[in-house]
Structure 1
Amino acid sequence: MSEKNKQRMEKFVALCNSGKPWYVFLVLFSLLLAANALLELLTEQRVKSWVWLLNVAGIVGCVADLFHCKNLRAAKAEDENA
């Protein structure tokens, strides 16, 4: 792997570990969940249960990733202080 590719990968991993992308996905899944709820409330159409499950699973996954990033930052800060 070239040095330039290594630098790009390090930047990508740092971005993911910062937690910022997970906030974007959390908002996206929340909006999809709200849109499904509004669709059912305002029309006579029913949203299939697997769509609800995918939205909830996405939200739970994002929250889990955010906690993981928070723990990584705490461990990294602990290592720097020690």
Structure 2
Amino acid sequence: MDFKYPNSKKLYLVVEISQLLSKYNCTFSEAESILSLSLSEIRQQRENLEYDTTLDYINGNKTKSADNEEIQPLQHIESYC
């Protein structure tokens, strides 16, 4: 999907996420928890890409930048979700 303005993609996705949360009748508490879990997963994916080893992570030695990498989607696991 092409976006005409610089912030269009961000705003579009914020609206999409809010509509999805509403579609599933999420409370504010649930929505905050879902967004927090999502952010934690995104941060973990970034760290996995930016540090080659645990020692690199401990020493704060990034081996690459993940700024322009696309996130990977999570998958449903039948017995859990």
Q: TM-score of the superposition, structure 1-length normalised? A: 0.36
Higher helix share: 1
- Flag the structure with more relative contact order, 1 or 2, with Cα contacts below 8 A and sequence separation at least 6: 1
Q: TM-score of the superposition, structure 2-length normalised? A: 0.36
